Amino acid sequence: LEGHTGSVSFLLWGLNGRVYSGSGDSTIRVWSGDDGAHLQTLKGHTNWITSLVWGPDGKLYSGSHDCTIRVWSDGGTMIFKSAESAIFSLAWGDGNLFAALWKKILVWSSDQLGPTDPPSHVLDGVVCGAWRL
């Protein structure tokens, strides 16, 4: 699949049979899972796309080194959350949105998803490591 002008950093399969790719060129591209045809380019981030995840609302959420989380829908995009540093990863679980930043994890509960709502929990001083066998 050709189209991004930067390295592809994240891939996500959509239940709609499409593939979503995030890149260092600050875009998300949508591809047909059947034939690989480029269908759409989502623009709005201003830095590297680091994470893509489906929310329980069926919308696409993206995290970026531009310190924002965006929500994508048929009507376009909105800045959902701004953070104090780059977003490295996003995850949904038990109705909570988790965002991994540098040495910190921010958690928003499902009833605090407005653009100005602060995180319901902040896990500070988080350092990840890897075990080697």
With the C-alpha atoms ordered 118, 123, 127, 133, is the resulting torsion angle positive or negative? negative
- Model confidence, pTM: 0.85
Amino acid type, 24: G
Band (132; pLDDT cuts 50, 70, 90): very low
Amino acid type, 18: R
Query: What secondary structure, in 3-state letters, does 20-68 show?
Result: EEEECCCEEEEEECCCCCEEEEEECCCCCEEEEEECCCCCEEEEECCCE
State pLDDT tens for residues 64-73: 999 989 988 8
CA distance 130 to 121: 25
CA distance 99 to 124: 12
> How many C-beta atoms lie closer than 10 Å to residue 51's C-beta?
20
- Top pLDDT among 87 and 120 is at 87
State pLDDT tens for residues 20-76: 999 999 999 999 999 999 999 999 999 999 999 999 888 899 999 999 899 888 766
